[in-house]
Amino acid sequence: MNIANRRDFLRAATAAGTAFVASKGTLGQLSAQSPEARIDVLLNEPIGTIAPEIYGHFVEHLGGCLTPTYHVFDLYSAHQGARSVRTVVSSPETSYNRNGQQAALRGLNGSASLNGSQLTLTVTNPSLDQARETEIVVRGGTVRSAAALMLSERDAHAHNSFEAPRAVEPKTAAITVKGSGTVFSFPPASVTRITFAL
């Protein structure tokens, strides 16, 4: 079994995605109205198995207060031991001011893994004020159902405390399968895990 460490995994995923976009261009449309972003998950293009050691759990829960960081790691833990598959993410950049100068981040970031007939897609939206309506297409398999779990709050500075230990926690979000994927709106400053049953 080929186990990829974090650095190799990220390097391979970035190179594969860049090469794919450069060589293939746009892949078509899922819906009549064109969303501003697109994620293509290519099941037939494995990258490697994700090492279980990459994602860890914190002992924060011992004090009775789980931080948003704990929840993010928990959302990503579904990738442990699964086979990473190529994920091509294209979206408008997010602009921000850094030390008095304009700078930009990717509008969305995402990765996907396959474990048996379960496909896990995790996506971050770093924008503090813009949701990203996104077309998600799964290629190489038939999607039967999907479930979304999202960590997002209107106030990006929201946090959990001993007085309010559940102020920020993942919530389920409605998601409907349409053909080989879905259209989903990723809220500002969010981390989302979508689980597809194939």
Mean pLDDT of 57-75: 72
Flag whether pLDDT at 69 surpasses 70. yes
Q: How many domains, in total, are found in the chain?
A: 1
Contact, 167 vs 186, CB < 8 A?
Answer: no
Flag whether pLDDT at 105 surpasses 60. yes
In this structure, the strands spanning 132-139 and 118-125 are: unpaired
Contact, 2 vs 72, CB < 8 A?
Answer: no
Instruction: Write the pLDDT tens digit of every residue in 129-176.
Output: 999 999 999 999 999 999 999 999 988 888 888 888 888 999 999 999
How much is the pLDDT for 51? 73
CA distances from 136 to 81, 174, 195 (A): 23, 15, 12
**Residue 59 lies in domain:** 3-197
Contact, 155 vs 193, CB < 8 A?
Answer: no
- Which residues make beta-bridge pairs with 139? 42
Instruction: Write the pLDDT tens digit of every residue in 44-53.
Output: 998 888 776 6
CATH code of 117's domain = 2.60.40.1180
